A and B are shown apart, each in its own frame.
Chain A
Amino acid sequence: MAKVKQDIKEGKGQDSLSSKGMKAAEDFWREAAKMWPLTPCAFQAPLGRPAEEAQKGMEDFLTSLWAFWQGAVPPAGTFFGQEGEQTGKGGMTMPFLYDPFRIFREGFMSMQKQWSEAGGKTIPSVDDEEVGQTLQHVSRTVFEMYGEEFRKILNLPQLGLTRFYQERANLAIEKFNKFQSAMHTFLVVLTKPRGKAFQEMQEEVRRLSEQGEDVLQDTKKSYQIWIKKMEDQYLQLLRSPEYTESLANTLAALKDYRVAREQWMMDLLQDVPVPTNKDMDVLYKELYDLKKKDQTT
């Protein structure tokens, strides 16, 4: 592993696409490791260890992980037909067997490169924004980046006997991702009033202190001020178009996910002697129509 890292440092094999992809991936993860302590959800340094040590540990871990990945994947030319033939290394020239793996690996590395480029432009500076906006921005970045890239894979046309089942499975996964994204945004919107309520509470406490009332000593009074501010902020939020729009989007995403999931589940249940919702709904509708017909005659 140390030799591999050395090779990378010395820039050997940088001409090949996969090496470049590896380098880009490693850079991405190194930057991610640096950014990690700045995010609101950063882990706390273990007790007794300074934060810089913990951060360095994280960087080393991620770098090692990628170095291991590089070591696990054969260097360009070992197995893959054309390069192997050219360099004379490896000697296993069965491109028809290993080409799919090569295509997948190179495609994956290419995606990593794209992510790192996208991530480099959009990872926010947490110094400048409120936590709520940051979370919203990060979630949009992560879910949209992730969604855009993976959606392309999930929407690949399926072939063969199981194509319909695979399509439905992919659709369920895609809809789940969309629902998670919408849900995350909704929860971020729902938690917005907390910060504002707390600020207003601080101002109220300051104002009362200036009038000679020491509210902080009286926990009950402090709590009552806080809960009133929270209530006021929430009543404002709950009427706002931002909330209703987010709610509507979340419910729409939930519906899409449930419908897709149910279709996938029905595929799975086909081989099991269990009636599905669809089967029962057809039966219930028939019963209902029969009863209505009986009542009218």
Chain B
Amino acid sequence: MSKDPKHHFEDLLNPMKAAGNLILAKAAADSARTVKRMRKAKDVLLGQLNTDIAPTPYDIVYEEDRVKLKHYRPVRDIAYETPLFVTYAMVNRETMLDLQHGRSVVQRFLDAGIDLYMIDWWYPTRKDRYLTIDDHVDGYMDSMIDFVLKRTGRKSVNLMGICMGGTYSIMYAALHPEKIKNLVLTVTPVNFQTDQGLLNVWARSIDADALVDAYGNIPGDILNLAFLLLNPPRLMVDKYVGFLENIDDRDFVENFVRMERWIFDSPDLPGETFRQFIKDLFQKNLLIQNEMELNGKRIDLKKVTMPVLNIYAKYDHLVPTEACEHTTGSIGSKDKEDVCLDTGHIGIYVSSKTQKEFAPKIISWLKERDGAEEKETAERPAKKVTRRTRKAGQKQE
């Protein structure tokens, strides 16, 4: 190092200068990249974005009050003798099953030649606040299944339920087993006595009567807020950070916006349905104990004797595995199967990996059990319950 003060000072400055130049160069490069990305993002956001959901065409073939029955237009010859009746949950909308081309369970069913009907609970108004689970299961569902049976000339339908819709479906199958040929349950809670899920923990401490008395119907916004509070950092922060990181990617933005449109499309929940669901199911857990009653009729799960396929998700934060894995042990079916997939509550339907797993499994399982109604399940040897934890995309062994 030079002893001359001036040179000494310059010697000191040189490494600082070099570091400073490096920092400035990095900042400049980052800045240039950022500007480029922002320009692309601007083009994406201000350009034509395709964010429509539920693209598959259908007809409304039956309406009762606010509830509608959709019949999806076949895209090929019907290859299944028995039509499939799908019951979605009353929280969020059934459009999730038909989110977009390439991620549509509905399209996969139609491509396989299934004659597909789906119930649409629509948007309850204050007029619907006195409707109970009895009215939805033993009322609307029963009327619509009767309609499908009459329309198709069949004696029974295949029934598939999703989440709360699956809970309804198993109740219906216990009340009217003669009308159900095969039952498919997906992410369906039947046992509510678990601490695995936050909803179960919270539901036990809330006063359902107070909420219903205050609001009538439970607003969809409050339900949305409750779901966001399940994991605030991920659902309110990280999700949008991820969006910003990919804001210049048109496909990503379109998929993201579609999902946002679906996830915040929350109808209100009829007050009495909410009250009954919280008290009889979350708090008293009556269903799996065979003590639940609808319209004065007790639901005995042992009366569910048709073949049952029970699919649930290992990383489901809404319906934990403990809520689903006791189902097959509680019913009277001899032909029953559990499948646990390595995914989450929504991912089971929309993840690109599970698209190759979930819908094909249902399609093949139903096909094996399709056929003329005079073929009884007793002719087929009883299938042991199998429990597989399979990673999405992994081939069946």
Contact = CB atoms under 8 A, between A and B. Distances in A.
B214 A239 contact: no
A252 B207 contact: yes
Contacts of B210: 251-252, 255
B207 A247 contact: no
A223 B231 contact: no
A244 B203 CA distance: 9
B163 to A, nearest CB: 21
Contact of B198 (A227, A239, A287): A239
A285 B130 contact: yes
A284 B127 contact: yes
Nearest to A292: B135
B252 interface: no
Nearest to A224: B238
Q: Which of B205, B214, B229, B230 has the most C-beta atoms of chain A within 10 angstroms of its own C-beta? A: B214
Nearest to A289: B130
A3 B234 CA distance: 62
A267 to B, nearest CB: 18
A148 B155 CA distance: 68
Given A234-B232, A239-B201, A244-B205, A280 B211 contact: no
B126 A277 contact: yes
A213 interface: no
Interface in B224-250: 229-234, 237-238, 241
A254 B202 contact: no
Nearest to B139: A295
A8 B124 CA distance: 66
Q: Size class of A's contact patch?
A: 20 to 34
A288 interface: yes
A255 B214 contact: yes
A255 B241 CA distance: 35
Contacts of B233: 227, 230-231, 234
B320 interface: no
A256 B26 CA distance: 58
Q: Chain B binding site: helix, strand, loop or mixed by DSSP? A: helix
Interface in A231-266: 231, 234-235, 238-239, 244-245, 247-248, 251-252, 254-255, 258-259
A252 B195 CA distance: 23
Contacts of B213: 255, 259
Interface string B314-326: 0000000000000
Interface in B128-167: 129-131, 139
Interface in A206-242: 223, 227, 230-231, 234-235, 238-239
B238 A258 contact: no
A269 B210 CA distance: 24
A281 interface: yes
A231 B231 contact: yes
Given A255-B213, A284-B127, A247 B234 contact: no
Contacts of A245: 205
A68 B139 CA distance: 71
B9 interface: no
Q: Which 3 A-B pairs have the closest CB atoms?
A: A230-B233, A255-B214, A255-B210
9 contacts: A231-B234, A234-B233, A244-B205, A252-B210, A258-B214, A259-B213, A277-B216, A284-B126, A284-B130
Given A280-B127, A281-B216, 13 more contacts: A227-B234, A227-B241, A230-B232, A231-B231, A238-B229, A239-B201, A244-B205, A245-B205, A251-B211, A252-B207, A255-B213, A277-B126, A281-B129
